[in-house]
């Protein structure tokens, strides 16, 4: 549901209105599963947008202000909603994972699997556990996962087997 919030951070979202809608659409409208964890929506799925922002064919002089205004919006939003300073941007481990993987085929594979995951709390929990495990993977383990070529959220089992094989 949308409503006007006459707060300072709303100004920044108005400046980047198209980006705000892209975020809302990709992170909150498209995913079939309505119970997806907030961090998965706000960090993982948003990372796809951030990847696009970083790699826009525009001049750097055009990209830089967009990034700055987006950060101002995010900080203002967090402050308004009393989000703990150390939690702005969500868990660093998931953030790092998303940043490191974004752009790699595995990122899009996982993203598509998340977007298409059927609705239901069980599926959402399974995805949350998957990301929890993925966050502890090192590069070799992620490469192993990519090599497996799996495309569904049954990847949780694959994650377990990759972990097993790395021991």
Partner 1 sequence: MVMVNGAESVSKYRMARAAVDMGDFSVAELIALADVPEGTAAHFISTLTGGHLVQTVSLPSQGKGRPRNSYQLVEAGRKSLRNYMHQVRLRTEGDKVPFPDASSPKEVEIFAEPVMALAAPYFKGYPSGSRYVLVGAVPGLSAKDVTVLPKRHHVTVQGSNPASVLPSWAQKAIGLFRETFIRDVDIPADFANPVVLRQVVRNGILTVELGKATEAVGTIAMAKAAAKR
Which residue is listed with tokens 């659409």? 25
Residues 128 to 157 in contact with partner 1, rule: CB under 8 A: 128-129, 135-138
Task: Provide the token pair at 88.
Answer: 């702005």
Task: Provide the token pair at 122.
Answer: 């069980």
Contact, 107 vs 101, CB < 8 A? yes
Contact, 151 vs 109, CB < 8 A? yes
Q: Which of 65-73, 103-111, 144-152, 158-166 is the region at the interface with partner 1 (rule: CB under 8 A)?
A: 65-73
What's the min distance (Å) between Cβ of 54 and partner 1?
9
Task: Provide the token pair at 12.
Answer: 């920044």
Distance (Å) of CA 27 to CA 31, 86, 102, 142: 7, 22, 15, 24
- Name which of 77 and 137 has its Cβ closer to partner 1: 137
DSSP string of 68-79? HHHHHHHHHHHH
Q: Which of 20-28, 41-49, 81-89, 159-167 is the region at the interface with partner 1 (rule: CB under 8 A)?
A: 81-89
Total binding residues toward partner 1, as defined by CB under 8 A:
25
What's the min distance (Å) between Cβ of 2 and partner 1?
26
Position among 20, 75, 123, 146 found at the interface with partner 1 (CB under 8 A) = 75
- Residue 165 found at the interface with partner 1 (CB under 8 A): no
Residues that bind partner 1 (CB under 8 A): 64, 67-68, 71-72, 75, 82, 84-89, 91-93, 96, 121, 125, 128-129, 135-138
């Amino acid at each position: 549901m949308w409503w006007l919030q006459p707060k300072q951070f709303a100004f920044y979202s108005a400046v980047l209105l198209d980006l705000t809608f892209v975020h809302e659409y990709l992170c909150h409208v498209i995913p079939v599963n309505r119970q997806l964890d907030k961090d998965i929506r706000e960090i993982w799925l948003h990372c796809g947008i951030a990847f696009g922002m970083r790699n826009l064919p525009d001049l750097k002089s055009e990209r830089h202000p967009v990034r700055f205004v987006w950060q101002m919006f995010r900080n203002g939003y967090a402050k308004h909603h009393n989000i703990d300073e150390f939690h702005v941007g969500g868990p660093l481990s998931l953030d790092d994972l998303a940043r490191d993987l974004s752009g790699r085929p595995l990122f899009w594979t996982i993203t598509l699997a998340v977007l298409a995951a059927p609705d239901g709390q069980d599926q959402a929990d399974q995805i949350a556990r998957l990301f929890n495990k993925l966050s502890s993977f090192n590069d070799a383990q992620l490469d192993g996962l990519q090599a497996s070529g799996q495309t569904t959220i049954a990847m949780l089992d694959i994650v377990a087997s990759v972990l097993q094989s790395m021991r």
